[in-house]
Amino acid sequence: MNEHEEEGFLGSSRELNRFKCTVSYDGTHYHGFQIQTNALSVQEKLEQALKRMHNEPVAVVGSGRTDAGVHARGQVFHFDSPLEIRMDKWTLALNSYLPKDIRIQSTEPIHADFHARHDVTRKQYRYHIYRSRLENPNRRLYWAHVPYGLDMDAIRAAAKVLEGEHDFTAFSSAKSDANHRVRTIKRLDIEERKVEDGEEIVLICEGNGFLYNMVRIIAGTLIDVGRGRSSIEQVQQALKLKERRLAGKTAPAHGLNLWWVAYD
Amino acid sequence: MNEHEEEGFLGSSRELNRFKCTVSYDGTHYHGFQIQTNALSVQEKLEQALKRMHNEPVAVVGSGRTDAGVHARGQVFHFDSPLEIRMDKWTLALNSYLPKDIRIQSTEPIHADFHARHDVTRKQYRYHIYRSRLENPNRRLYWAHVPYGLDMDAIRAAAKVLEGEHDFTAFSSAKSDANHRVRTIKRLDIEERKVEDGEEIVLICEGNGFLYNMVRIIAGTLIDVGRGRSSIEQVQQALKLKERRLAGKTAPAHGLNLWWVAYD
């Protein structure tokens, strides 16, 4: 066994194989997942790491965008490579070229027809709210702080109104370029946990697709309902009349986390 | 009521009153609590905020140091001020001059004999371990990552050995300038919680005083015991022989959090 083999590197052929990766990132220092001019993105860091491994450009195709400041526990992307690296070494090799705020969780070979964006069947986002009188500095990057009391029963009831298939025009940014705004929320659950200085409230939102800013607007709306600034009736009206102004504000990006992406 | 009064500012006399503050901070970007030349400290930020409120220097006296990168949920300090600000406005006023990674939690008037360092009767530190196969980028600033399995029963048994009054020479840095190294650990408990990708393990360490690096060396030792690299017998030997090399490595600073400081 030569040195390269010991390191898990078996050589290179010009035959391309497709790989599917799951990646976690702390979105704090990035202008979102997708490559942009003049702004740091997660995709750029991934392509830089792949380029250093391949000595040539390698394109990364993600499951979709995430906004500036949004985190991911389980973003998925694919790429093609001629490198023959032992499967258990791919994740380690990639991570060695990535900054600490981006960590590949798994790498697996996948058939050449797999497409990380087109083949998505479901996604789960989680919105993290920390309710306490005063701010906790160690939560400021990952939890949206809410200093007032929240009526959790009202929030849960309003969440039930949003579940299912609806036209979510009222819950999407004016910047959204989607024509068809009907989406299905398969699950919108609220988990709550008492901690020393307040409560952790996690909105779990699962669906077959999401409009631009949709989860953050849903989070902002449910917070408004919880503090009595909005009501179940108003949420129903927002869905029916498709008016953005009837929904709540867009909740801050740093509370949002792309939890997983599922494929058939 | 004039404008100042509405804002909670009642004026200033030259009579000094003493105040006790509790402060939380994210230690990531600081070289510890205590002021140092050429390195950013939490104390410096607090004194800058007080100086901006007073237009003159105001000294901050903390309950003790915390190392570079160590966090605090409940550090305590005192200061003297001639300002007459409505009590409920002090915390808000101070926070308005502080960066987001330092948050005053409470401010209260205290008798002039109170001393934030001399009068400490007990402190609680928490050491945060995140056990999972792969690193989670959103935990990297606040949790020490452990990728291997841990024998929690062995850790709990070793913790019981450390509880009580002992000479903790083996569990202190060579840099410690304390002559007398007998301390009492009133409580050394381990809390465990399963989360999606692993376990949160929190070491709760309460005592009447701590030597330099003591909690981090205890954490490093308990991790060694948990992975089978050390044993209860070796912990007992370390205490008895007072040899630093028999204890574990100093666990990383970012896992440590000064949870509270108690006074009589």
The reply to whether A21 and A103 lie within a common domain is yes
For residue A152, the cross-strand partners are none
In a domain, B231, yes or no: yes
- Render pLDDT for A240-264 as a digit per residue (tens, 0 to 9): 999 999 999 999 999 999 999 999 8
Domain boundary among the residues A69, A87, A110 is at A110
Known catalytic residues of A are 67
Return the pLDDT at B197.
86
Residue of A nearest to B254 (CA): A138
Interface contact B138-A105, CB threshold 8 A: no
Tell me whether residue B115 is in a domain: no
Which chain A residues are Cβ-neighbours of B91 within 8 angstroms?
134
Average pLDDT, whole number, for chain A? 93
| Assigned domain for B34 exists | yes
Q: Considering its fold, how many domains does chain B have in total?
A: 2
Chain B residue with Cα closest to A73 = B136
Q: Is residue A224 part of a domain?
A: yes
Residue A115 lies in a domain: no
Assess if residue A116 is contained within a domain: no
Residue B50 domain flag: yes
Identify the CATH number of the domain in which residue A24 sits.
3.30.70.580
Q: Could you write out the DSSP letters of every residue in A85-101?
A: E-HHHHHHHHHHTS-TT
ipTM: 0.86
A151 three-state secondary structure: coil
Mean pLDDT estimate for chain B: 93
Bridge partners (DSSP) listed for residue B109: B19
Q: Are residues A173 and A102 in the same domain?
A: no
The answer to whether A104 touches A21, Cβ cutoff 8 Å, is yes
For B24, the closest of A100, A101, A136 (CB atoms) is A136
Nearest partner of A47 among A75, A56, A39, A115, judged by Cα: A56
Are B80 and B133 members of one domain?
A: no
Cβ–Cβ below 8 Å for A137 and B102? yes
Q: What is the signed CA dihedral for B154, B155, B157, B163, rounded to 10 degrees? A: 160
B21 CB contacts (<8 Å, ≥6 apart)? B76, B77, B78, B79, B91, B94, B104, B105, B106, B107, B108
Between the alpha carbon of residue B235 and those of residues B151, B156, B185, B263, the distances in Å are: 15, 12, 15, 31
Top residue of B88, B138, B141, B191 to mutate, by most chain A CBs within 10 Å, is B138
Give yes or no: residues A193 and A258 share one domain.
yes
Domain boundary among A68, A83, A110: A110
Q: How many CB pairs under 8 A join A and B?
A: 59
DSSP characters over B135-203:
--GGGTTTSEEE-S---HHHHHHHHHHHSEEEE-GGGS-TT---S--EEEEEEEEEEEEEETTEEEEEE
Lookup: tokens for B38: 């050429």
Q: Is A97 annotated as a binding residue?
A: no
Residue B71 and residue B158 in one domain: no
Domain that holds residue B78: 3-110
B134 and B236 together in one domain: yes
Model pLDDT for residues B16-75, shown as the tens digit of each residue: 999 999 999 999 999 999 999 889 999 999 999 999 999 999 999 999 999 999 999 999
Q: For residue A8, name the pLDDT band (cuts at 50, 70, 90).
A: low
User: Are residue A216 and residue A235 in the same domain, yes or no?
Assistant: yes
- The two tokens of residue A89 are 């070494």
Residue B1 has a pLDDT of 43
A192 CA: distance to closest CA in chain B (Å):
14
Distance, CA of B247 to CA of B171 (rounded, Å):
6
Q: Which of A58-62, A146-150, B170-174 has the least mean pLDDT?
A: B170-174
State the Cα–Cα distance between residues A238 and A245, nearest whole angstrom: 8
**Residue A252: DSSP 8-state:** P
Do B63 and B140 fall within a single domain? no
Last residue of a domain, one of B58, B82, B110: B110
**B171 shares its domain with B228:** yes
Query: DSSP character for A163?
Result: S
- Taking residues B85-92, what's their average pLDDT? 91
Cα separation, A49 vs B136, in Å, equals: 19
- Alpha carbon of residue A196 to chain centroid: 28
Q: B256 and B157, same structural domain? A: yes
Same domain, A125 and A252: yes
**pLDDT score for B87:** 87
**Does the beta-carbon distance from B105 to A134 stay under 8 Å?**
yes
CATH number of the domain where residue B138 is located: 3.30.70.660
Is residue B116 included in any domain, yes or no?
A: no
Residue B163 shares a structural domain with residue B197:
yes
CA dihedral over B208, B213, B216, B222, signed as positive or negative: negative
